[in-house]
Structure 1
Amino acid sequence: MTLLGYGEEIRRIRAGKYMEFDMPSQASTCRVNTITAGSNAEWLTSFHESDHDWLFVPRSVLCVEVGVDINTIPDDIHVYRMDTRVYPGHCMMVLERSASASFTFINYALCSDEKWNIVLSSDLFLDEMSNLTSEGGVPLERAGPALSRAGGTGINIDGVWVVRCHCPVILQRWAQRPRLWPPQDVVDKVVSLGSVVTTVGFKGSINRYLEWRICFNMGEVELVNTLNIAQAKVFVILKMILKEVLKPQNKEITSYVLKNVILWQAESNTPITFQERKLIHWFIDALETPRNAISSAQLPYYMIPERNLIAACGLQDE
């Protein structure tokens, strides 16, 4: 595994390089932050090993939890209140306050819900962002929230537009549960990184075109980067098994599901027990979880356990 490029030293080198890609978008003149996501951000793949995943985060939009004081938020930001009375891990974004300056892509994505609240539609927002990012590369078939384009180097670029989300209650609920991992300083950092909502409603909902999924991309990257080398290698082997052996047709098991398997495994065991000489033991242990998840159609999301990661995925007996 180390010779294949999954050792600790090469991961650290990758970390610095990927951070260099993100730095220009953090300048104060940029209206959209670009953040490296996926396996690249987790230092688990080299530059040309897999597709490039990026988050596009507009600075002019913010989603907040009920109870958050919006008077502390600058006037040039559109503020939406989270309505979480939907499937766990999802929400609707109800307009709380328009920004002092209007942005066309936001206005075109607004509509009314059944109670005549003005809400930001995830479907319409994604359509607007698709038009906004129509230049550069060859567009590919849309896959979930990702707007994919074929790059000139043979590497596809998956861009996901998200909205910043301030949800302290949800994050504190995660932070305060009993655990053996990660250490408290990492827990605090994950909380400080906050969350985003992305343009994915619950598959079984009649209002899914209005709904958004609550995600913790930056925090999850921090958690994966905190795994020791043995845990990271187990994660990589699981993804190899997924790609080369399981090859799921209906995407019922994905690399994201496997990431959650690894995070639950790490939280439930003392870190010192994860040693490279026990790699196969922990791999077999981790492989049991997706097997049980498939048979029961149940796998709780690591950050919000009430959300079932494989709910409404269309699993069949075979």
Structure 2
Amino acid sequence: MNAVSEELSRQVYQCMDKIGYSPDMVKYRRQKYRQRDELKNRQRSGVTSYKVGSKGEGFTSYNESDHDRMYIDNNLVGVTSRDDSIGTTSKSDYVFDMMSDQCHPGHYKLKLFQKGTPAVKYVEDSLVVCNGEYYMSSEIFVQNLQSIPRYSGNYQGWERRQRTGPAIPAARGLYCRDDVQAIRCPSQRNLLATWAKRPREHGWPPANLIRDVISTEAQLVPVGCKGSASRKMEWRLCFNTGELKLTDDFNEVQYKLYILLKMINKELLIPISPDLSSYMFKNIVLWLVERNPPTIFKADRFLGLMETALQMFYDAVCHDKLVYYMIKGRNLLFGRLTHKDALKKKLEELQLDGPKVVFQCKKLRKALKTDPESLKASCARRDELERLQLDMGIIWADVWKPDMKDWDMNARVREMENYRQVTYRQYHIAIPEWERLATSGSGGTILLPEIPELKQEDQARLYTSYRKQAREIYDIVVPFWKIDRGIEVDVEIKERVIELLAALHLTIELMLS
């Protein structure tokens, strides 16, 4: 790289600290999400849940992308060998043999070996007879899950969104979540034997990390391979918890490279080829880290690494093949490439742009053009706001019970002074004059923030959602304002205060996007 490119590399690399991707923020997210998982899992019976994807990795801010959560049913188990079930299952578990016949690598049909007790309705209703044997259909499994209140219709204010892959998506305001119900797979040592033993010239991952990964159970999620004739019966093998150990080991250059590639994919490539995913670029980075010496991962080579990664992806698109990092037989592009010629053309354009590609990423472009002092100040506000949000999540998880409704949880945490004080600090960061605006007879107009990228009707729908949420929590929240802040709220300005609450919550979530 020339001197100009090296200087731009350093600028972009450092700029990423100012827009939510500093090592401290990544570490804080990981710590808080995992602490929250641990607290809630103590209260659960039969299910273990983890924050996965970019949130679990700590690589995205609170509302920047969907919250991916995996719910692992501890009493459903898939194995490649009966030996794998010894010591990992009980007589009350449903146990399935993983059958790979006529499936794309990394996908399996699940043949029932042992019925669980007591019977689970959504599992029993997902069993299909094929050639005299019972198999569990992934498609019917997800359909049956959607009859459970938590996954069906509008539940506690959550609006169901169009299903994507194995996930059942929902949204409440700007907060979007993707819930995936998975089953255990304790056969990871067999499945990862080739991965664990393959030669690695540059020593990554190191032996101790490989041992950690293969000691971590895999999961099977209810989605088949696109283009497969038996797609509705297939389940996809994944190593979410094992892969978290690998991304935890990325150094700062490596994880920032992954984040930059995610931005490029989201803003420049997915609009052309909608079936692309950030997971493909995670695999590009994993291959890049394994195949290269650690000395190349330097700040002044940051954009050169971006160009290398984009070239790797271009080559994969040209050959219709991107090899899955964990299982070489699986092709991540199989059935996923749409508008291939247009995608190739766009990737060629990005190659010609070289390091200047970063200026096509809205968030980076805006930050790079912002006055350094202003950027530093906005960074401090944004990071503090997110830390407070994550802290609130811990308080919430500490009192959470599986059968509690969201409204009851809201009422309970608002009784806790530490939770309320965190909320007030968030309010002050979002709208510094909020206390004055909440006072009877105060002047000033309360306006909900505009979201230019949304269509007018979508923005109106979003405003309605936040106003509804504000109205629901008004009687829980406002009485404490007098106790904690000395704010008197008269009945005649109730509608004004509801508008203020809606504006506060929407502003906070926008700042965390």
Aligned letter for 2:318?
S
User: Please, which of 111, 119, 126 is the counterpart of residue 102 of structure 1?
Assistant: 119
State whether structure 2 residue 341 is matched by structure 1 residue 317: yes
After superposition, the C-alpha distances for 1:45-83 in whole angstroms (9 at most, x for unaligned) are: 122222211001111101111242535321121110110
Please, which runs of 5 or more residues in structure 2 have no aligned partner?
Answer: 1-15, 343-513
- Preserved contact between residue 224 and residue 233 of structure 2 (Cα < 8 Å): yes
Shift, 1:187, TM fit: 1.0
Pick the structure with more helix per residue. 2
Is 1:161 the counterpart of 2:181 in the alignment?
A: yes
Letter paired with 1:159: D
Contact 2:253 2:302 in 1 (8 A): yes
Specify which of 164, 171, 178 is matched with residue 199 of structure 2.
178
- C-alpha distance in 2, partners of 1:176/1:145? 30
Residues 1:147 and 2:168 aligned together: yes
SS at 2:77's partner residue? strand
Does the CA contact (< 8 Å) of 2:286 and 2:325 recur in 1?
Answer: yes
Cα separation, partners in 2 of 1:69 and 1:15, compared to 1, 3 Å = closer
Report the AA paired with residue 251 of structure 1. P
1:253-272 matches, within 5 Å, as: 253-272=276-295
Q: Structure 1-normalised TM-score?
A: 0.94
**Percent of residue pairs bearing the same amino acid type:** 31
* Richer in strand (by share): 1
Question: 1:190 aligns to what?
Answer: 213
- Give 1:27's match in structure 2, choosing from 39, 42, 46: 42
Q: CA deviation at 1:236?
A: 0.9
Question: 1 or 2 for the larger relative contact order (CA 8 Å, sep ≥6)?
Answer: 2
After superposition, residues 216-227 of structure 1 pair within 5 angstroms as: 216-227=239-250
- The alpha-carbon deviation at position 268 of structure 1 amounts to 0.5
Shift of 1:28: 6.6
Matched, 1:51 2:72: no
Letter in 1 for 2:183: V
Question: 1:252 touches 1:310 (CA, 8 Å); kept in 2?
Answer: no
SS of match in other structure, 1:193 = coil
What amino acid is the match of 1:164?
A: R
Distance 1:210 1:4, change over 3 A: same
Q: What is the aligned counterpart of 2:107 among 73, 90, 97? A: 90
133-142 vs 288-297, which deviates more? Answer: 133-142
Distance 1:59 1:194 in 2: 11
Q: CA deviation at 1:277?
A: 2.0
Partner Cα distance (2:69, 2:266) in 1 = 21
Distance, in Å, in 1 between the alignment partners of 2:307 and 2:330 is: 25
SS of the residue aligned with 2:210? helix
- Matches of 2:319 and 2:57, distance apart in 1: 29
Q: Structure 1 314/48 Cα, relative in aligned 2: closer, same or farther at 3 Å? A: closer
Deviates more, 1:274-283 or 1:33-42: 274-283
**Cα separation, 2, equivalents of 1:280 and 1:155:** 32
Instruction: Give the letter for the 2:167 counterpart.
Output: A
Moved more, 293-302 or 63-72: 63-72
Q: Which runs of 5+ in 1 are unaligned?
A: none
Pick closer, same or farther for the CA change 1:29–1:202 going to 2, 3 Å. Answer: closer
Q: Is the 8 A contact 1:92 1:210 kept in 2?
A: yes
How far has the Cα of 1:104 moved from its partner?
Answer: 1.1
What does residue 366 of structure 2 align with? Answer: none
Distance (Å, rounded) in 2 between the aligned partners of 1:44 and 1:285 = 21
Contact 1:62 1:78 in 2 (8 A): yes
SS at match of 1:209: helix
State whether structure 2 residue 6 is matched by structure 1 residue 6: no
Residue of structure 1 aligned with 2:81, choices 63, 66, 77? 66
**Distance in 2, Cα, partners of 1:232 & 1:93:** 35
Q: How many matched pairs?
A: 316
Whole-Å separation in 2 of the counterparts to 1:64 and 1:293 = 32
Deviations 1:293-318 (A, max 9, x none): 11111110111111111112243333
Q: Which amino acid aligns with 1:102?
A: A
Aligned residues: CA RMSD: 1.6
C-alpha change, 1:53 and 1:82, in structure 2 (3 Å) is same
Residue 80 (str. 1) matches residue 96 (str. 2): yes
Q: Which whole-Å CA distance do the structure 2 matches of 1:164 and 1:67 have between them? A: 14
Counterpart Cα distance in 2 of 1:116 and 1:163: 24
Separation in 1, partners of 2:136, 2:292: 41
Structure with greater Cα Rg: 2
Do residues 245 (structure 1) and 268 (structure 2) align? yes
TM-fit CA distance, 1:21: 2.2
Distance 2:37 2:59 in 1: 17
Offset of residue 16 of structure 1: 1.0
